[in-house]
Amino acid sequence: MSSNIGVMGHPIGHTKSPVFQQAGLDELGIAETFEAWDVAPDELEEKVTTFRATGFLAACVTLPHKQAVIPLVDELTEAAEAVGAVNWIFNRDGKLVGHNTDGTGFLRALKEKTGFDPAGVDAVVFGAGGAARAIVYALKLAGIARLTIANRTVGKAQALASEFSEGRFKPDAIGLSRDELANCAPYAQLLVNTTSLGMAGGPAEMATPILADMISADALGYDAVYAPPMTKFLREVENAGATSAGGMTMLVYQGIEGFEMATGQKAPVDTMFAAIEKAFKSG
């Protein structure tokens, strides 16, 4: 192994993580190269074993390995257990700890980049996959007032809502039809797209889960998709006169949280954002 920190996934060519992570390492004078490791599913166990090596810091984990690594680590943090996925593995003296920073990264993106505090608000989350799980967990922690999970397959939305229901926190689960969305979306202060609708290279690049006429001008629309930076969903948000925010900020903040836990140092946030913004501008 040539480096003690990196990101693994399959395929991995699309990842932007090394761009901003390397900028952070360089700024702090940490002599490591943040590498991208293309690890096929049948190579995963062997790769994770190498993370126990003396001096190894951490590995960021992306698709399709976020669930598959769970049995390969020694311990899960509360966040990883609740979300049911690992996006960072830390080496603690040979013991591997699986953690999830997607939810807290999302909250930091909201608060620090848009000034939005989700405590006490009504929200709609579109989608019921891995990103939705992390965001529902985060919104529950943040003290959201009311949450609706809207998904094409209502059964998946119901399963997710049921899993996170506790005390007075009981998310609603609905489909994506206009009739169903009409009862909640226009009144929501926060709308979050976690589906692949609008994703570059995805099956529905020009699609959106909701149109402008159902979005309040007082709302914040956040898209967990970060490529392209302006999705069809975010265009609809802006057409409604509402505030839009793209997923690049969540990507960077989940990475910053992992960076700080791996290095034990405060991340140079401005430097890391500047690096990824430059990379997006240059294509």
CATH of domain 5-100+249-281: 3.40.50.10860
Q: Is 70 helix (H, G, I), strand (E, B) or coil?
A: helix
Q: Considering only CA atoms, which of 249, 262, 237 is closest in space to residue 104?
A: 249
According to DSSP, the β-strands at 220-223 and 243-246 are: parallel
pTM comes to 0.94
Q: How many CB atoms lie within 10 A of CB 172?
A: 16
User: Domain residues of the chain, as ranges?
Assistant: 5-100+249-281, 103-246
Of 66, 111, 170, 232, which is the active-site residue? 66
pLDDT at 202: 85
Whole-Å CA distances, 190 to 61, 135, 139? 28, 12, 10
| pLDDT the model gives residue 14 | 84
For residue 130, the surrounding DSSP H or E stretch is helix 130-142
CATH number of 103-246: 3.40.50.720
pLDDT of residue 283: 65
Structure tokens at 156: 């998946």
Contact 251, 14 (CB under 8 A): no
Distance of CA 240 to the CA centre of its chain: 25
**CB burial of residue 260 (10 Å; 0-12, 13-18, 19+):** middle
- pLDDT tens sequence for the chain (283 residues): 579 999 999 999 889 999 999 999 999 999 999 999 999 999 999 999 999 999 999 999 998 999 999 999 999 999 999 999 999 999 999 999 999 999 999 999 999 999 999 999 999 999 999 999 999 999 999 999 999 999 999 999 999 999 999 999 999 999 999 999 999 999 999 999 999 999 988 889 999 999 999 999 999 999 999 889 999 999 999 999 999 999 999 999 999 999 999 999 999 999 999 999 999 887 6
Tell me, yes or no, if 278 is annotated catalytic. Answer: no
Q: Do domains 5-100+249-281 and 103-246 have the same CATH topology?
A: yes
Residue 202 neighbours by CB distance under 10 Å: 13
On the question of a cis peptide bond just before residue 228, with omega within 30 degrees of 0, the verdict is yes
Q: What is the pLDDT of residue 160?
A: 97
